[in-house]
Amino acid sequence: MSDGIVFIDGEYMRPEDATMSIFDAGFVWGDSVYDVTSTWNGRFFMLDEHLERFRRSCEGFRLENPRSFEEMRRICAECVHRAGLSNAYVKMQITRGAPAPGVSDPRSLIPSVVVYAIPYVWIWGEDKCRHGADLFVSGVERVSSKAIDQRFKNYNRADLVQARFEAYDHGCDDAILTGADGCLTEGPGFNVFIVREGAVASPDYNILEGITRRAVRELCEREGIPFELRKIRPDEIARASEVFASTTAGGVMPVTRVNGRPIGNGHAGIVTSRIQQAYWSGREAGWHGVGVSDVLAG
């Protein structure tokens, strides 16, 4: 196992050597999109779904990926293989590219493709991702999809960072942001869910449409748990019996406190635990999976 392997425009390198121009418009103009998938026990989870969402993000930002879907697929696998990782966090990104000094027309630039595999990441640390975190409903508004379409996964996330700082100020682990309409949207890199009277609900407005969220929906359907996507007002959290979150980097994660107050009895709830267990036993068994070696052999 290594610290990881990074692919940049055709070359593989160590993470500490992975640099980009400070002039890349992907940085200077927030003009980049990305996606994150993972492997567990050497198998990708919903790889094609992530690649397909990445394709849509590129399209949404008018970023032309010089690599085909099949090339991206192989590069992801190659990074994990070269890194020698079994459980990997795998990111793909495209930036607009570095212009000649003073050039601001994005149409003239050559996009740069980066893919990397590093050891699997738990966004709140493994313990909190498995057993529960304390979230804070932030006063920072989530960037509106009317400004930057949040279905396209992108790095314009200063709102999420400031919300996270606010959460830390209040002794919490992370933040949930509301949108311009006052309803819940998402946290920094994860979708949120509430459980009430045995039914699961998740916001469907101004959010990234999570692949793990899609898996949660599928698991709910399989387990006979009612599931709906709808607007959720922050005050519904107080009446919820359970709250949880989902992301590639942590899976299905209990939220046991919000704004410092316990949800239910302050431990992971029954519905959350059922979905979480189904998710991880699925991952172990290769559900929606494709082996790294199969991608490379294919």
Near its own copies by CB under 8 A: residue from 21, 87, 241, 273:
21
Q: Which positions ≥6 away from 111 have C-beta within 8 Å?
A: 63, 64, 65, 66, 94, 95, 96, 97
Rounded-to-integer distance, Cα 1 and Cα 17, Å: 18
Which of 162, 241, 259, 273 binds its own copies (CB under 8 A)? It is: 162
- Considering only residues 90 to 129 of the shown chain, the ones binding its own copies according to CB under 8 A are 93, 96, 101-102, 104-107, 114, 116, 118-119, 121-123
Site for its own copies in 213-272 (CB under 8 A): 249
Site for its own copies in 31-70 (CB under 8 A): 31, 61-62
Neighbouring residues of 285: CB distance < 8 A, sequence distance ≥ 6: none
Distance CA 144, CA 236 (A): 22
Look at the block and give the residue holding tokens 């590639």.
248
Interaction of residue 182 with its own copies, rule CB under 8 A: no
Segment near its own copies (CB under 8 A); pick from 25-33, 41-49, 68-76, 286-294: 25-33
3-state class of 25 per DSSP?
helix
Q: Which is nearer to its own copies, 188 or 269 (CB)?
A: 188
Angle at 214 between CA 259 and CA 87, to 5 degrees: 85
Out of 46, 76, 92, 143, which residue is the one contacting its own copies (CB under 8 A)? Answer: 143
In this chain, which of 40, 89, 190, 205 binds its own copies, going by CB under 8 A?
89
Question: How does 171-199 read in b/e, with b if 16+ C-beta sit within 10 Å?
Answer: ebbbbbbbbeeebbbbbbbbbbbbbbeee
Binding footprint of its own copies on the chain (CB under 8 A): 3-4, 6, 8, 15, 18-23, 25-31, 61-62, 89, 93, 96, 101-102, 104-107, 114, 116, 118-119, 121-123, 140-144, 146-148, 154-162, 164-165, 168, 180, 188-189, 249
